Structure 1
């Protein structure tokens, strides 16, 4: 029986899944690497660590599935969006892999946000003006590290770097390239005006290709270490965001994927580019017939991890995620009136405010760690309510929401999310949707399934979570307060961000 291997290069780990021809998961694996490090507001990964994580995940998945390399009909690789690795003329790295969480481009993006040029960029590329996008990180390099900028012969992403190591080819799929701020989301070509803005040339970027584009694994020690055979077809595939939606079965226009991992996103697959009149959503091309439309937040699981770290340091012992969730369950909905604005890493959609900062509001002497924990889970859910409102504003309100990401393993967080949104959440059978989606592209590329929609129909729903009618009015009231609080704090966010940036020098 033919098997298909999907590899998902996430921000903090690499996950892999082996599917059979019916889309059933036969085995899975995971490799780890640093999520990113560097001076404040920097976030870089060593590129070689990505290769090590990929090898580990691939071998584990093959062993778990009890399949040989000869049984793998095709491989596909997905990757996190918005990364940037700068290479010199000998294809040696001049930087680490700069991740989406790196904030160095904030000042450069601020120079264009709200300007006619910035609006035009958004309308062409589908990328709001924000320092997360590689365009603005390249502008930062031009301004702050001119030596690196002058030596740069090629700009690639983490996925491209791994693909090149596996196949010897430089190529980038539309969905990954669409997250640069440098590709025209309408024509599916590199945008000449955006390139000129940064003093870049098209030949410094990989050729663009659709997700079904076929490559072959080359004969190298890396391929052998991954447990694979040279000559095995590699289907180019898509970004982890597209793969997550595919793995959740949310690739029909009336379905959305709600994902909470390190970050978070709410997205739909549309049949045409859809842009918000005020630039709130992003719109990333998948192929010539599909676009990923939605918004992402910086602070998903990373916010919970921050609080877990605070509790661990305060108590002198490691506190687990489950322990934080259990604490949150000790207090009723509304966290005793404590609100959390979880902007610990700035924010993306729908406000696109890198200067937003984390806030706990409403604290009194009777409040304790449990109130902080619940308020944080509720605060992240409020961010998704903002994203849902944004999608409704552009006519993309879904009939069904599929949940994915690590938060699906927390019954309390699922209940909070469903009640804040007042929507039922449907849970896919396989929780690691991005690795499933990557493997599904291998199936599509080899003709085992006809197309994107057909692959999505293979996904089975394993459960659902309904909103609690008693909690809905509580969260309606607090969300209105939460929204007012954010608006009132906007000037203070700017002030404190300037102060924090001044202390970096």
Structure 2
């Protein structure tokens, strides 16, 4: 293997460690899974010791292929699951499990903040509206329901920052992850003293903030012995997993937009000024590149809608069935012969924020087949993402192309549908591992190998461009209006159906 950087991607379900060459070649990766603890209603916790074990195991696996690995690592660059955090005692040991971003038990805190006005005030102070996903309401839930844990807590760290602490002994976070706490002012890239005071949280519990593309420390002797890496290897401060993946997809400056059609759908736009959405439909978080922000729309179920279809109607089939689905959908005309799908199988986030929203096949007739339903799913998911894109454009971001990633980018017919639905050029990338490329770019900036993010443009290798067909785009635009009206006119009935959900 060639020398390069060691990319660590601390995901929700597992950690991936990758050696990336300085020229952007994904040389070898290792992956380790860890479980989510969900034994009580709303609970979603993890054992942080398993993150560390997973990283050590991955490094051992990489070393088994090349014993010289430690000497090949010029720097370590890390991104990780956002919001998830660890409580540390006076000796910097974790006090029980971490609370992940999936945990819903802070809903009572959010409900109280909405009633007493604190939610609105936090929005004014931070330009982000708090939800159960954010760290601050979860911390307040721990303070209320686990007072013995909170009394022992001397510091609280975001997941990837805790790993950096184990590697370097330094407690540092970055603006992209700090944005996900609900007490960080994205305009100044500083903790908001007033926001902290408003919810009764001591700011000294939180880590200092440093830009993402900086060296935040070096591998300690102890960490070197535990991981097998060389003492003194520099560690890059890094960022949240989605934002670093966006960087690796080509969001190197203003006006760039990426779209992940994965389990969820993510639309991200890079802007040189922070943007507030008064209607609270999309988020704006600090970006790993200094002087830039990330306008973000997240839909709840994207490619996972097609996975649901497979699991329900073709449950004996493996992933090869998706190629068959693509061929089936290609034979169906635009609009699925009058069949429209609303992909709200788990409620919807951006831009509806409606947990009671339901999935819908609207317009079914006796002539419709499995192929029609597959294409309708592809079109409906694309409509949900277009819904986010229209908000991004409304907020002043202009763009004519989108870098597309995830499972929805693998199907040629789905790429064509997306281009026509969005009315944008759709670009696909050589690698799906954009997190590792993003980590490489941050490492190149941190180590002064490059001075400007645009110098990394050659690392973003686009392999296909699909241009929208004007006539088809116009037809889809009309169908998008029908899609919107179906939700508007069934929304109240969706809420009424909630009463029957647990019957």
TM-score, normalised by the number of residues in structure 2: 0.88
CA RMSD of aligned residues (A): 3.0
Q: How does 1:315-326 map to 2 (within 5 A)?
A: 315=315, 317=316, 319-324=317-322, 326=324
The superposition leaves residues 182-237 of structure 1 with CA deviations (integer Å, 9 ceiling, x where unpaired) of: 211112221223323332111221221111143111233x6556552121100112
Q: How does 1:30-429 map to 2 (within 5 A)?
A: 30-34=30-34, 36-38=36-38, 39-59=40-60, 68-113=69-114, 117-211=118-212, 212-220=214-222, 223=224, 226-286=227-287, 288-311=290-313, 315=315, 317=316, 319-324=317-322, 326-327=324-325, 329-331=327-329, 332=332, 333-429=334-430
Once residues 63 and 398 of structure 1 are traced to their aligned partners in structure 2, the CA distance between those partners, rounded to angstroms, is 45
Unaligned runs of 5+ in 2: none
- State the match for 2:485 in structure 1: 484
SS at match of 2:328: coil
The superposition leaves residues 146-203 of structure 1 with CA deviations (integer Å, 9 ceiling, x where unpaired) of: 5544454433222122222222222111111111112111122212233233321112
SS at match of 1:402: strand
SS at match of 2:449: coil
Once residues 96 and 497 of structure 2 are traced to their aligned partners in structure 1, the CA distance between those partners, rounded to angstroms, is 29
| Bigger Cα displacement from structure 2, 475-484 vs 29-38 | 29-38
SS at match of 1:187: coil
Unaligned runs of 5+ in 1: none
**Any conservation in 2 of the 1:347–1:353 contact (CA below 8 Å)?**
yes
1:143 CA drift (Å): 4.8
1:431 CA drift (Å): 2.2
1:2 CA drift (Å): 4.7
Once residues 136 and 484 of structure 1 are traced to their aligned partners in structure 2, the CA distance between those partners, rounded to angstroms, is 34
SS at match of 1:236: strand
Once residues 43 and 371 of structure 1 are traced to their aligned partners in structure 2, the CA distance between those partners, rounded to angstroms, is 37
Pair 144,71 (structure 1): closer, same or farther in 2 beyond 3 Å: same
- State the match for 2:6 in structure 1: 5
Pair 118,104 (structure 1): closer, same or farther in 2 beyond 3 Å: same
Once residues 468 and 64 of structure 1 are traced to their aligned partners in structure 2, the CA distance between those partners, rounded to angstroms, is 48
SS at match of 2:456: helix
1:308 CA drift (Å): 3.3
**Any conservation in 2 of the 1:263–1:302 contact (CA below 8 Å)?**
yes
The superposition leaves residues 21-56 of structure 1 with CA deviations (integer Å, 9 ceiling, x where unpaired) of: 3x3214131313246351454333332332243334
TM-score, normalised by the number of residues in structure 1: 0.87
Once residues 87 and 498 of structure 1 are traced to their aligned partners in structure 2, the CA distance between those partners, rounded to angstroms, is 41
1:393 CA drift (Å): 0.8
The count of aligned residue pairs is 496
Pair 443,60 (structure 1): closer, same or farther in 2 beyond 3 Å: farther
Once residues 99 and 342 of structure 2 are traced to their aligned partners in structure 1, the CA distance between those partners, rounded to angstroms, is 26
Structure with the larger RCO, 1 or 2 (CA within 8 Å, 6+ apart): 1
Once residues 318 and 127 of structure 2 are traced to their aligned partners in structure 1, the CA distance between those partners, rounded to angstroms, is 38
| Bigger Cα displacement from structure 2, 89-98 vs 75-84 | 89-98
